[in-house]
Amino acid sequence: MDVVSFWLVAFSLILFIAYAILISYYKRGWEACPSFESSDDFHPSQRVSVIIPARNEKKNISACLSSLQNQTYPINLVEVLVIDDHSEDGTADVVRSFSMPNLRLISLQDFVGHKLNAYKKKAIEIGIGQSAGDWIITTDADCTAPPEWIMELMAYQEKTSAELIAGPVKLTARENLLEVFQALDFITLQGITAAAAHHKMHTMCNGANLAYSRKSFLAVNGFENIDSIASGDDMLLMQKIHEQFPGKTAYLKSKKATVSSLPAKTWKEFWQQRIRWSSKADKYKDKKIFRILLLVYLFNLSFVLLFFLTIWNSAVLLVALLLLLCKTVIEFPFVQGVAKFFGQQKLMYYFIFLQPFHLLYVIAAGFLGKFGKYEWKGRKVK
């Protein structure tokens, strides 16, 4: 084996060991994270404002609002605010026609007269400014929530005294390759989110199911200093609240509080979404997240380099294939456990076959998230 091959193989093995330790740690964290279910002793008292930023969501907003209409939380303690972000498809008309006494429609263009890079953050900020709840709960217009959603969030808050709660999110997926891939990727992210919260390792959440107190949002001055970043209305805000209120951020592991979201419909839309998510990778103040993302990126990149090196050294191919097998063996039990919680075990049949594509996805999304631009909801964002 030549010198280049030797050092690349050695470096890949070191990365694998670090990655295996990380995944094992996440697996233990997910399993140790306790499930929660509210009891009959819980008596709701806090006012809640559900904030829904919406842009061109005519096809989805009705199902979202219907799920909120069926909440078991006392209706007199809930208000729902839809912030229409310059929709061009009649989203606002659907909201106006919806029969829901605690529903309000706010037009973002009434508050914003100039171009922004982070419209969603501004929509949430305006919504909070117009709301009256003690607690803010955010979700997306293409999401639906179970009837106990708000009840579980607020019962968990009473039990833990948390200032921010990250709730579980799952993607609905049929036997469509694109949807299956997205759902599996999402399952992994949810497992990491819960494990990280339980171990108090780093902060992670998803804005499709996120709750935080008005007090904490105001205490950290909302999105100030992160309002120019297109993405990050969830994780970057969570970091700010975690810094201000140490130990007061938590993950609610509850099936009754699981929000369902729709996957991207096309490969282009999927890539744009993932690039958007990756674009904030170097914006985290919590350097543990950056180091973990770097480890995962370099580990996946090492496979591409190993396979590329086989052009000149065929012996490296065996190493690459063995490492890919070991990676799959390490990840499978962790992802399977999370998939079982979300009732999506059948997706695991595709797990092994999607491994090579996942390698390329991580590398491409990470690179383009740092150096590229993307389009989201009809807007080009940097």
How does pLDDT run across 292-337, given as a tens digit for each residue?
Answer: 988 999 999 999 888 888 878 777 888 889 999 999 999 999 999 9
How does pLDDT run across 214-250, given as a tens digit for each residue?
Answer: 999 999 999 998 887 777 788 899 999 999 999 999 9
Quickly state the pLDDT bin for 48 (edges 50, 70, 90).
very high
CATH label, 38-167+205-263, candidates 3.50.50.60, 2.40.40.20, 3.90.550.10, 3.40.50.10860:
3.90.550.10
Residue with tokens 């543990």: 288
Number of other CB atoms surrounding residue 354 within 10 Å = 16
Q: What is the DSSP letter of 222?
A: T
The pLDDT value recorded for residue 377 is: 65
Instruction: For the chain, give every domain's residue range.
Output: 3-31+286-381, 38-167+205-263
* pLDDT, greater one: 6 or 35: 35
| Helices and strands (H, E) in the chain, number of each type | 12, 12
In our burial notation (b when 16+ CB lie closer than 10 A, e otherwise), range 11-44 reads ebeebbeebbebbeebbebbeebeebebeeeeeb
Report the pLDDT averaged over residues 11-26: 95
The answer on pLDDT for 202 being more than 90 is: no
